[in-house]
Amino acid sequence: MSEVKIGFIGAGGNARGHMTRLGDVEQARIVAICDLSEDAAGSAVEEFGGAAFADYHAMLDEVEMDALYISIPPFAHTDAEILAAQAGLHLFVEKPVVVEMDRGLEILDAIRAAGVLSSVGYQLRLMDTSQRIRAYLADRTVAMISSHRWGGFPGVPWWRVMDQSGGQLHEQTTHQVDLMRYLTGHEVVEVYAHYDLLAMGDVEGIAIPDSQAAMFTFDNGTIATVTTSPMMMQGGGKSDLNFLLRDQIVGWSAGQVSVMGLEAPDLAGEAQEMPGAPAHIDEAFVRAILAGDQSLIPCSYEDGLRTADVTLAANASSRAGEPVRPKMA
């Protein structure tokens, strides 16, 4: 194969980012774009090429392709992944991959049965800063992790409905939870979470908590906390991830490494910090398809589903008022 023919389901803000970046990848060609909104599909096709569709069943029946991006709201994942896997298409699914684990496990079965490659949009894994921290932590004991994501409120309507987005921890802060798993190489075995809507009750249509705190226990005993809120509606905020080791704090923030305490020149250089480089997850996906090699993709569907499992367990814990074990743990 010298060219990868790609279709899209979803032509919203995030999908257009992938389409733009695929323009830099010589072997990638967009052959079809589907969106429930004909305007969204039509304008994307005008800019990026291919044929426009409003129904992906018709697109999958009519267009020959090698790979499919699915970039739709979290609640909208129904049969697309399963049909595409059965048709032998390699899949790029945006995070969070589902709002219900049973659906995710069904999709995972279909991907495994078909033997197609899969990728989930956890692009922060690819940053060289993430890779360095991961290598650094591999043979060290991480006692505790703390993370914040205190940021803004996306304008898309589905985001403010719990059943549709899963709330901010599941939808956005999934990146921080994913990095906790990926950088330590350990799995979460228990989650205890508490949520409330405290200061944003007057926002039209809001049906998600604006204050979420979760405590995670990992399989090696590491204890982690994450707090997240979209309360910074006028801009600004704070997003970080800190790993506490004996006599040292390793920090990841917006792709920057920082080290406090014991020096770690092999991790951060003399300045004890280094900026991150941009990652190209779309190029990685296309290269993996051309090589037939899943290992070139930083996050498979199974791996992405494990991250969703953790934040869905947090949602279940906040409802039950007691600790919950993720289903895949």
Ligand X SMILES: NC(=O)c1ccc[n+]([C@@H]2O[C@H](COP(=O)([O-])OP(=O)(O)OC[C@H]3O[C@@H](n4cnc5c(N)ncnc54)[C@H](O)[C@@H]3O)[C@@H](O)[C@H]2O)c1
Binding site for ligand X (CB under 6 A): 9-15, 34-37, 40, 56, 71-74, 76, 94-95, 121, 123, 156, 171
Judged by beta carbon, residue 9 or residue 264, the one nearer ligand X is 9
Rounded to a whole number of angstroms, the minimum distance from the CB of residue 55 to ligand X is 7
Judged by beta carbon, residue 66 or residue 81, the one nearer ligand X is 81
Quickly tell me which residue has 């049965």 as its tokens: 113
Judged by beta carbon, residue 6 or residue 259, the one nearer ligand X is 6
Judged by beta carbon, residue 14 or residue 27, the one nearer ligand X is 14
Judged by beta carbon, residue 174 or residue 211, the one nearer ligand X is 174
Helix axes 101-114, 301-320, angle to 10 degrees: 170
Rounded to a whole number of angstroms, the minimum distance from the CB of residue 157 to ligand X is 8
Rounded to a whole number of angstroms, the minimum distance from the CB of residue 79 to ligand X is 10
Rounded to a whole number of angstroms, the minimum distance from the CB of residue 289 to ligand X is 19
**Letter string b/e over residues 172-194, b meaning 16 or more CB atoms within 10 A of that residue's CB:** bbbbbbbbbbbbbebbbbbbbbe
Q: Which residues contact 196 (CB under 8 A, 6 or more apart)?
A: 209, 210, 211
Residue with smallest beta-carbon separation from ligand X: 12
247 C-beta neighbours (distance < 10 Å), count: 8
Distances (CA, A) of 19 to 24, 48, 232, 270, 306: 9, 7, 29, 39, 26
Rounded to a whole number of angstroms, the minimum distance from the CB of residue 190 to ligand X is 25
Tell me the C-alpha distance between 67 and 90, whole Å. Answer: 4
Judged by beta carbon, residue 167 or residue 326, the one nearer ligand X is 167
Q: In degrees, to the nearest 5, what angle opens at C-alpha 317 toward C-alphas 313 and 319?
A: 120
Rounded to a whole number of angstroms, the minimum distance from the CB of residue 220 to ligand X is 28
Distances (CA, A) of 33 to 58, 66, 157, 225: 11, 14, 22, 40
